[in-house]
Amino acid sequence: MAYTPGVVIVGAGFGGLQCAKKLAGEDCQVTVLDQHNYHLFTPLLYQVASSLLNPSDIAAPTRTILHGRGNVRFRLAKVIGVDFERREVQTEEAGRVPYDYLVIAAGSTTNYFGSPSIEAHANGLKDLSEALALRNHILRCLETAARLNPVESAPWLTFVVAGGGPTGVEYAGALSELTGQVLPREYPELMDRQPRIVLIEGSENLLPPFAPDLQRSARLELEQKGVQVRLGVLVKGYDGDSVQLANGEELPAKTLVWAAGVKPNSLAAAVAAPRSARGRIEVDGGLRIRGRTREFAIGDIAGFEQDGRDVPMLSAPAMQQGRLAAANILASISGKRLRRFHYRDKGTMATVGKGAAVAQVGKLHLTGFAGWLAWLAIHLYYIIGFRNRLLVLAGWAWNYFRSDRPVRIITRAGPDG
Amino acid sequence: MAYTPGVVIVGAGFGGLQCAKKLAGEDCQVTVLDQHNYHLFTPLLYQVASSLLNPSDIAAPTRTILHGRGNVRFRLAKVIGVDFERREVQTEEAGRVPYDYLVIAAGSTTNYFGSPSIEAHANGLKDLSEALALRNHILRCLETAARLNPVESAPWLTFVVAGGGPTGVEYAGALSELTGQVLPREYPELMDRQPRIVLIEGSENLLPPFAPDLQRSARLELEQKGVQVRLGVLVKGYDGDSVQLANGEELPAKTLVWAAGVKPNSLAAAVAAPRSARGRIEVDGGLRIRGRTREFAIGDIAGFEQDGRDVPMLSAPAMQQGRLAAANILASISGKRLRRFHYRDKGTMATVGKGAAVAQVGKLHLTGFAGWLAWLAIHLYYIIGFRNRLLVLAGWAWNYFRSDRPVRIITRAGPDG
């Protein structure tokens, strides 16, 4: 009986899962390692943080996604290093895991750009626990404001969002819907007060990768929702009470949502591999870690240049790379030539709120309701799991018809949870 | 303009909410205080802890429930004491809140019967954070077992439930469904292993308040599901690795679910009022705290004897008391006679799993599928909020047809959440 090579995939995100699915049924034994037991549909995290969706609407157990694929196994483990020479992955709780081929798909985390004050006091929006913590925080701010006088309550009703990319734009829009829908109805104490949502972007435009007409449309939609958009302004620090801007200005606010950037997972720095300027693991044309033959890196953690530019940290390139890495591993096993990765940009979209989004697919630019329908269709199509699709749809339909944000409960697991 | 008396209700559980609703529209100003911003449908907590339901399926924001009632307000605050002389409630975060009439409806918490080892290592099942922590713990146990050999994994696959009341019976049944449905399908590593669920009850019967035929039926149903039922056995201690029984026996298990009893909220001991043997605040026939005229206590925290027995700590008497306390406050305000409380027992039920429950309504005893249908109808009817009712029904239907427990994600809010 021939030896069956073992493939270890680090990370069950968009890239890692595509790679695992592509290797299913092939002549190899695949082990997917992740520190969480679920795959997270990150593009909808902001809807958890704004009380529209339940965590399980956007998170499916990785075992559920992978089950029925006999040669693919899952193991809950946080990977802290890789020993290239011994071909072993080092994990925090499950010891060492040997491999014949390795795919590092560990993704990215919030980038605080080296500001300890912001890291300590701002709320990130990159993983499920950050989204839940942010939801709890916002709801607590509303409750605190409800028992204070107008002057005292102002900083509790001021929500600053740093970062004008899709996450910041989408969260600012969702937050304005949350406060706009819920406050007048359920917070009679706050009837005379106006919550303030400020979206701050360091460059001169929202949604930098989009075309200028879509950038303008998004800004207009946000401003119609009451969001104050401030461009060309940088956030310098935050002490939990007041946001310090680079121009010397101070914004008293109990909330700073940090959506200003992401950086590669810390595993990138823990492996002995060359890294790009942005800290991503450099890979060759076939997605192998530069200088290695059996180790691949894909997605946000991998640095791949195309047309002189870094492939963006998005789900689409990660999924495309996951499929190619799988194909190249199979090619390696059978001694064939590896294929070169080429990113096909199929378009980008961002929603600004109920019934409004911007979408850019090649030369096609959609805004407003048309953009929103396109956004809805694509997100529902891609979200993992049939049940989730149905429940997410039901939740959205409910929100759409009732203008409600029903998941407004402040809760957390216990101290051991 | 006449003075409008202020009524403060401590606790937004079954009793407090009924009281608030009954006072809505009356000539008084009602303030509901609770340490959580949601009302919890506690009878279904075990379904959150066994991955069937989302937290928000059984928890609705208290403001949502109360909105539209102009004279009823909500305030998020943990009450830590009452100053009867100054007629003020002391809160942790919102200072002092004055009242003309007070209703203490602060409920109950898990009773560890003075065992620090059990309190430190067992998982309670009385509030939402305990349920989430328990769900996370069970799922981690399965993941840990999946990477160990059969001998090492045994304690990770042994789940001991202490307490043969409705909570213990329902959780043991739900846990056997979770492991029975999910393990064979998604944990190929555990194919050769059998999880062990042990339900331990100190008395000689499960479900002590039920009739003997229903007790036997519940036991039979549980045993058919593979649950080991041990009666007349007491749990003495637990160090996280091994459950110590009073007969000297040790059960190696990484999980002890403590459903063996509840005790009145610690507020009962913090107020200057006489308490019953079980630590509940003693009330007179009109539900006023003994010796007081403007302060009432209802629900689990209130000690009321009827026919020589304590009224049980259940939602039904709490709701009945909530309505009577409201009526008696209105009677006091208008100088009328107070009415005497009388508990009407409309029946009890407990589910043993999908398609099996026991119900006792007067002389009517239902078991099996008939009992389950009755249980389903009543729980869906009583669960708060139309959306929740629909989503809970959808979740159950899904579980019923697919034998799935979809909410199997290990997650928690961040450190500040």
Q: Give the span between the Cα atoms of A302 and A107, in whole angstroms.
A: 8
Report whether pLDDT(A245) > 90. Answer: yes
Report whether pLDDT(A164) > 90. Answer: yes
Q: Give the span between the Cα atoms of B206 and B204, in whole angstroms.
A: 7
pLDDT tens-digit map of B333-346: 999 999 999 999 88
Report whether pLDDT(A165) > 70. Answer: yes
Least confident of B31-35, B116-120, B370-374: B370-374
Output A236 or B368, whichever has higher pLDDT.
A236
Task: Name the region of A261 (left: φ>0; alpha: ψ -120 to 50; beta: rest).
Answer: left
Q: Quick one: tokens of A303?
A: 């640095």
Question: Contacts of residue B137 in chain A, CB cutoff 8 Å?
Answer: 416-417
Q: Quick one: tokens of A308?
A: 């002189």
Q: What is the DSSP string of A88-150?
A: EEEESSS-EEE-SEEEE---EEE--TT-HHHHHHSB--SSHHHHHHHHHHHHHHHHHHHTS-H
Which of B64, B123, B413 lies at the smallest CB-CB distance from A412?
Answer: B413
Nearest C-alpha in A relative to B134? A417
CB contact under 8 A, A189 and B73: yes
Nearest chain B CA: its distance from A11 CA (Å) = 16
Element (H, E) at B364: strand B364-366
Least confident of A178-192, B98-112, B261-275: A178-192
Provide the pLDDT for residue A389.
62
Q: Give the span between the Cα atoms of A134 and A151, in whole angstroms.
A: 24
Angle at B214 between CA B213 and CA B220, to 5 degrees: 90
**Band (A171; pLDDT cuts 50, 70, 90):** very high
Nearest CA to A187 out of A123, A141, A134 is that of: A141
Report whether pLDDT(A391) > 70. Answer: no
Nearest chain B CA: its distance from A91 CA (Å) = 12
CB contact under 8 A, B408 and A188: no
- Residue A415: is it exposed, middle or buried by C-beta count within 10 angstroms (0-12/13-18/19+)? exposed
Asked whether the beta carbons of A199 and A172 are under 8 A apart, the reply is yes
Put the strands of the sheet holding B242-245 in their side by side order: B235-238, B242-245, B250-252
Q: Give the span between the Cα atoms of A211 and A360, in whole angstroms.
A: 8
H-only helix segments in B189-256? 212-224
Asked whether the beta carbons of B343 and B353 are under 8 A apart, the reply is no
Query: Average per-residue pLDDT in chain A?
Result: 91
Nearest C-alpha in B relative to A417? B133
Asked whether the beta carbons of A217 and A358 are under 8 A apart, the reply is yes
Provide the pLDDT for residue B164.
96
Asked whether the beta carbons of B138 and B175 are under 8 A apart, the reply is yes
Nearest C-alpha in B relative to A133? B417
| β-bridge pairing A59-61 and A38-40 | antiparallel
Distances (CA, A) of A325 to A19, A40, A103, B111, B228: 7, 21, 8, 55, 48
Q: Quick one: tokens of B157?
A: 């696959």
Nearest chain A CA: its distance from B74 CA (Å) = 9
Provide the pLDDT for residue A387.
56
Question: Contacts of residue A137 in chain B, CB cutoff 8 Å?
Answer: 416-417
Which of B57, B133, B414 lies at the smallest CB-CB distance from A130?
Answer: B414
Report whether pLDDT(B387) > 60. Answer: no
Report whether pLDDT(B396) > 70. Answer: no
**Band (A3; pLDDT cuts 50, 70, 90):** confident
Q: Is B240 helix (H, G, I), strand (E, B) or coil?
A: coil
Q: Is A170 annotated in the active site? A: yes
pLDDT tens-digit map of A54-90: 888 888 899 999 988 999 999 999 999 999 999 999 9
DSSP 8-state assignment for residue A288 = B
Asked whether the beta carbons of B12 and B32 are under 8 A apart, the reply is yes
Mean pLDDT of A121-142: 95
Nearest C-alpha in B relative to A73? B188
| β-bridge pairing B6-10 and B29-34 | parallel
**Band (B375; pLDDT cuts 50, 70, 90):** confident
Which amino acid is it at A206? L
Nearest chain B CA: its distance from A222 CA (Å) = 27
CB contact under 8 A, A411 and B76: no
Mean pLDDT of A225-233: 97
pLDDT tens-digit map of B195-247: 999 999 999 999 988 999 999 999 999 999 999 999 999 999 999 999 999 99
Q: Give the span between the Cα atoms of A266 and A80, in whole angstroms.
A: 9
Q: Give the span between the Cα atoms of B352 and B161, in whole angstroms.
A: 14
Provide the pLDDT for residue B218.
94
pLDDT tens-digit map of B108-154: 999 999 999 999 999 999 999 999 999 999 999 999 999 999 999 99
ipTM exceeding 0.95, yes/no = no
CB contact under 8 A, A411 and B185: no
Q: Is B118 helix (H, G, I), strand (E, B) or coil?
A: helix
β-bridge mates for residue A88, sequence order: A83, A98
Question: Contacts of residue A406 in chain B, CB cutoff 8 Å?
Answer: 56, 60-61, 64, 385, 387-388
Q: Is A362 helix (H, G, I), strand (E, B) or coil?
A: coil
pLDDT tens-digit map of A314-353: 999 999 999 999 999 999 999 999 999 999 988 888 888 7
Output B185 or B385, whichever has higher pLDDT.
B185
| β-bridge pairing A242-245 and A250-252 | antiparallel
pLDDT tens-digit map of A11-38: 999 999 999 999 999 999 999 999 999 9
Q: Give the span between the Cα atoms of A66 and B399, in whole angstroms.
A: 19
pLDDT tens-digit map of B2-32: 789 999 999 999 999 999 999 999 999 999 9
- The residue assigned the tokens 């994994």 is B153
Nearest chain A CA: its distance from B63 CA (Å) = 6
Q: Is the dihedral of CA A352, A355, A360, A361 positive or negative?
A: positive
Question: Could you give the count of Cα atoms lying within 13 Å of A194 in the half-sphere of its Cβ?
Answer: 7
Question: Contacts of residue B139 in chain A, CB cutoff 8 Å?
Answer: 37
Q: pLDDT over 70 for what percent of chain B?
A: 93
Question: Contacts of residue B93 in chain A, CB cutoff 8 Å?
Answer: 144
Chain A, chain B: beta-carbon pairs less than 8 Å apart: 170
Nearest CA to B341 out of B331, B354, B355, B350 is that of: B331
Nearest C-alpha in B relative to A65? B186
Nearest chain A CA: its distance from B85 CA (Å) = 24
The greatest distance separating any two alpha carbons of chain A, rounded to the nearest whole angstrom, comes to 77
Report whether pLDDT(A41) > 80. Answer: yes
**Active-site residue, selected from the candidate residues A26, A130, A170, A201:** A170
Asked whether the beta carbons of B368 and B353 are under 8 A apart, the reply is no
Provide the pLDDT for residue A400.
60
Nearest CA to B321 out of B297, B337, B305 is that of: B297
Question: Contacts of residue A130 in chain B, CB cutoff 8 Å?
Answer: 414
E runs forming strands in A266-372: 281-282, 295-297, 302-303, 305-306, 309-310, 348-353, 356-361, 364-366
**Band (A369; pLDDT cuts 50, 70, 90):** confident
Least confident of A8-22, B98-112, B260-274, B386-400: B386-400
Nearest CA to B198 out of B142, B236, B237, B157 is that of: B157
Asked whether the beta carbons of B108 and B301 are under 8 A apart, the reply is yes
pLDDT tens-digit map of B56-106: 888 889 999 998 899 999 999 999 999 999 999 999 988 999 999 999 999
Question: Contacts of residue B75 in chain A, CB cutoff 8 Å?
Answer: 143, 146-147
Nearest C-alpha in A relative to B142? A76
Nearest CA to A375 out of A394, A354, A400 is that of: A354
Which residues of B are annotated as catalytic? 170
Distances (CA, A) of A205 to A162, A199, A201, A219, A374: 13, 12, 7, 9, 23
Length of chain A: 417
